[in-house]
Structure 1
Amino acid sequence: IPAGLFIRSQSGDSSAKDVTAEFTVGADSVGSYSFSVRAKALGREVNLANNIRSTMIEVVEETRLKVLLYTQVANFNIGKIRQVLARDEKIELDLGMDVIRAPALAENASRTFGYVDLPEDRQGFNKYDIIILGPCELDALTDAQIAGLYGFVVERGGGLVLLPGKAEFGPAGWKNRKIKSLIPVIFDPDNPTIWPSSPGQIELTLEAADSKVISPSALRDYKEPAFPYYRIVNPKPASTTLALIKETPVISVHRVGRGRVCLLNASKIFRWYREDIEGGLLYRIMAGLTAHMGRITAREALIELFAERAAGQENKVKFEAYVCDSSFVPVAGANVLLSMQDEVLSMHQVSQGYYVAEVENVRDQSIIATAQAEISGVFLGEKTIAVNLPSARTEMANVELDEKFLRELAKKLDGKYFHADDIGDNGSQMFETRTLMGSSQRMMSIWPSWLILFIICMILSVSWFLRRAIGLV
């Protein structure tokens, strides 16, 4: 690591079986950075090939997520969520409030305060990276709006955050099957709302720590009890629970198609806000959720890129790209360029929307690659990936595993076996050079087999008598 970039490190209990070490490293400029971590061998460790791991990180200019916060009900929760979203520098926020029922007053408020309408079709939804739905009556939306919202998650890969609401204005009251399939939990059909409220402390799950959405430090400044809103029977099989209040999931996330949907199942969310500590718990939760949910930006929505080592060819990496148009239909005949380090390749089409390229002589354990696609002069998008590949196997990759064979071989050849760790720097002095001179004699018969000589003589004799008999001699 270059001098000045290493900031700090933190290690776990060294006596534990599994130890986690965290490193904080700064980046002084935009670009690619390669890092390697090596673990010191312990005793007579056999396989040293897995003691080192390398990775590459691409530092890019921060891309702002385009977020739509839409609600049909004005309350304190919406107001505080709007404040923390506006505070987050990585977010470009649009606010849609269909609260005023009188058309003239609603239009005047939209012009004055810059409110936006809920998109009418798929293209309108797809321009956002994340959509946060406050209390709203989704069953009253048009078929095009419901199809657009569903496609935004499943096909576009967008992030959808659902907030609770009363009756038909909340997820538990929605009837549309497409919309209900997006909800990550199953509500109690008889009594979906918890009443009277049952407050408790927010507890993070192991999945929350693993996902980095919420850290335990985010709860240190919040000691007040929190209130779950809905009574949940079960999370759906593919759902991940990040936080609980008395065994009731309050933050649940699951993946639907390419996108993710999160249910924030809590009432009185506005109490999580703290102006004196930069938004408090509410800011940290929303910042973590938006970063987690908005993984596929609009620029990356139409192209996916994957990389793996080619089967049976350790030094060759195979890249696969899937390219779609704005309707998420696989595109044929697109111009797809792959960039890796200083090399630029054209990916050839295998089938409609499926493009492949192979790069040889890649021994690095981690790589960064970018694919860009266009068709008929229309830019479709680009995708950058940082991939950790399995280590390339070489002739000397696993010599430690052959120790038993080498010992047997040395014994057969009347030699000696030395482990590499036992030789050290003075290995050459272990072997004394000597010069040996000598002579040897061995007498060999010119005819190793007398039978062969006898047969040759017989053949020559018979040939001579035959030639004499016919007068040739």
Structure 2
Amino acid sequence: MTLENPGARELTIRVAGQPDERVLENNALHAVVQVRDRTEKILYFEGEPRHEVAFMLREVKDDENLQVVLLQRTAENKFFRRNLDDALELLAGFPTTRDELYRYRALILGSVEASFFTHDQLEMIADFVSERGGTLLMLGGRRALADGGYKGTPLEDILPVVIPEPTAATPTERLVFVKVAPTPAGVNHPVTRIDGSAENSAERWDTLPAVSTTNLITELKPGATELLQGSVVAGAGDPADRVVLAFQRYGKGRALVLGVQDTWLWQMDATVPIEDQSHETFWQQLLRWVVTETPDAVAAAPDRASVEAGEPVTLEATVLDAGFVEVNGAAVNAQVTTPIGDVREVPMEWSVSEDGKYTASFTPEMDGIYEVSVEAGRDTTSLGTAATSLRVAPGIEEFRDPYQRRSLLERVADETGGRYYTPESADELPEDLRFTGGGVTVTEERDLWDMPILFLFLAGVLGAEWAYRRKRGMA
């Protein structure tokens, strides 16, 4: 499914009811997605000229939502730059400050040795993943992974694979060719489905030629997911199966390894038909996926994704600066657009208990999709914007999630003076109703002499009766 138009879009998934099904309200699931139409910047740093660079850039050059900024080392302290926003971008080479690196949503490291970077830069890359929430993609190559000296560096911790100890073997001695195939976890993944359905994609992978690697990557870290695996079909290196594509979450971001060095063969090998788009589809889907979950400096969301009309909603926003440090005391304003197009301004207040967090409340008055735009600034500087949405509709939680919440029922019974009954104790209910007062019933006893008005009334009645009987001669 492809959503073409930007903005909030409601998706409804339904299943047909069964002939004897009584409850149909839970046969539909609603979800609101935010479709963005903007350019996502990716920094690709390559340590040497190689074909992989040119073919990868060619495959995504027509994608208006991706901007791959290339920084390629051509000689010592000399770099080739491409796809820049301005002439000053990356003028001094690889970023040396967090503000400079954090403007990108993903970072690709090609065949470049760890010793090229300072220790501060390596720590900054690790923070780019863990604190900024960006994605790191490390490609295979003769200067990558263990062969590039990354064992024992800050990047070793964030990568999803186990980096072995480097060896004295030459790249030629380590070279193997692997036949790539999706793993069970990768069969239905959006990156590996290069031909529509999972079945067609599996057949397409089977037709693609083998690719090469010099990196001995055979073991995943706990919690990592392998999407593509490679079976060695030729070469002088270790014959063990290779991890080709794997990822893991690390802190707020993700780290990936694509452990081969010439995926361009999937496009240019003599056995690949000219009309085959496997290489192009793979790179487009991979790069779109690596930026999908990267957070912005300003983020906003309602405390609940769906509410009923007339139910208060709390909007929450997180505001960070260019270095992704929390900002307090910013001017944050939310603009709420109703389903009929009316616009309401809702100022957001800083939550003193949490740095960088702002909240505001409003009450939707009609069913439909409410779109929310949040803008944050400090002094005359704009810190960023965020967009979110809210679905307002009658609730059906009791149909979707109808299990008994015993602890809640017991607490309500206890707080209201009642009692929780099970099927085994239900026969006691009639007797309890007969002799037990309700949770809101209060019984109070008072002596008559403590109630003067009633006492005088009764005394007056008795005195009147005595006077009447005496008058009639009955006393």
TM-score normalised by structure 1 residue count: 0.67
Point out where structure 1 has 5 or more consecutive residues left out of the alignment.
1-23, 402-453, 468-473
- Report how many residues are paired: 382
Aligned position for 1:446: none
* Separation of aligned partners in 1, 2:209 and 2:220: 26
Pairwise mapping of residues 328-407 of structure 1 onto structure 2 (< 5 A)?
A: 328-341=324-337, 342-351=343-352, 352-361=355-364, 368-386=371-389, 392-393=395-396
1:161 equivalent in alignment to 2:144: no
Point out where structure 2 has 5 or more consecutive residues left out of the alignment.
196-200, 232-240, 338-342, 405-457
- Tell me the amino acid that sits aligned with residue 90 of structure 1: N
* Separation of aligned partners in 1, 2:158 and 2:462: 100
* Separation of aligned partners in 1, 2:459 and 2:113: 111
Residue 396 (structure 1) shift: 10
Aligned position for 1:288: 285
Give 1:245's match in structure 2, choosing from 221, 230, 234. 230
1:131 equivalent in alignment to 2:82: no
Structure 1 or 2, whichever has the larger Rg, is: 1
* Separation of aligned partners in 1, 2:305 and 2:391: 14
1:78 equivalent in alignment to 2:81: no
* Separation of aligned partners in 2, 1:196 and 1:146: 26
* Separation of aligned partners in 1, 2:281 and 2:463: 105
Pairwise mapping of residues 22-171 of structure 1 onto structure 2 (< 5 A)?
A: 24=1, 27=4, 30-60=6-36, 62-101=37-76, 106=78, 117-166=93-142
Relative distance call for 1:311 and 1:348 in structure 2 (3 A) is farther
- 2:292 partner SS: coil
- Tell me the amino acid that sits aligned with residue 361 of structure 1: P
String of CA shifts for 1:370-429, please: whole Å, max 9, x gaps: 322112121111222356789625999999x9xxxxxxxxxxxxxxxxxxxxxxxxxxxx
- Tell me the amino acid that sits aligned with residue 247 of structure 2: V
1:306 equivalent in alignment to 2:291: no
- 2:121 partner SS: helix
Give 1:273's match in structure 2, choosing from 267, 270, 275. 267
* Separation of aligned partners in 2, 1:397 and 1:98: 56
- Tell me the amino acid that sits aligned with residue 96 of structure 1: L
Alignment check: 8 A CA contact 2:176 2:214 kept: no
* Separation of aligned partners in 1, 2:400 and 2:129: 45
- 1:284 partner SS: helix
* Separation of aligned partners in 2, 1:169 and 1:188: 9
String of CA shifts for 1:277-329, please: whole Å, max 9, x gaps: 578433222211211111256xx621222323399988333322111122322
TM-score normalised by structure 2 residue count: 0.67
Relative distance call for 1:384 and 1:455 in structure 2 (3 A) is closer
1:214 equivalent in alignment to 2:159: no
Relative distance call for 1:455 and 1:326 in structure 2 (3 A) is closer
Aligned position for 2:452: none
* Separation of aligned partners in 2, 1:338 and 1:210: 38
Alignment check: 8 A CA contact 1:121 1:144 kept: no
- Tell me the amino acid that sits aligned with residue 336 of structure 1: V
Relative distance call for 1:196 and 1:142 in structure 2 (3 A) is closer
Query: Percent same amino acid among aligned pairs?
Result: 20
Relative distance call for 1:276 and 1:91 in structure 2 (3 A) is farther
- 2:219 partner SS: strand
Alignment check: 8 A CA contact 1:228 1:250 kept: no
1:235 equivalent in alignment to 2:220: yes
- 1:208 partner SS: coil
* Separation of aligned partners in 2, 1:34 and 1:110: 41
* Separation of aligned partners in 1, 2:391 and 2:187: 22
1:256 equivalent in alignment to 2:250: yes
- 1:345 partner SS: strand
Bigger Cα displacement from structure 2, 113-122 vs 75-84: 113-122
Relative distance call for 1:339 and 1:192 in structure 2 (3 A) is farther
Aligned CA-pair RMSD: 4.2
Give 2:182's match in structure 1, choosing from 204, 220, 224. 204
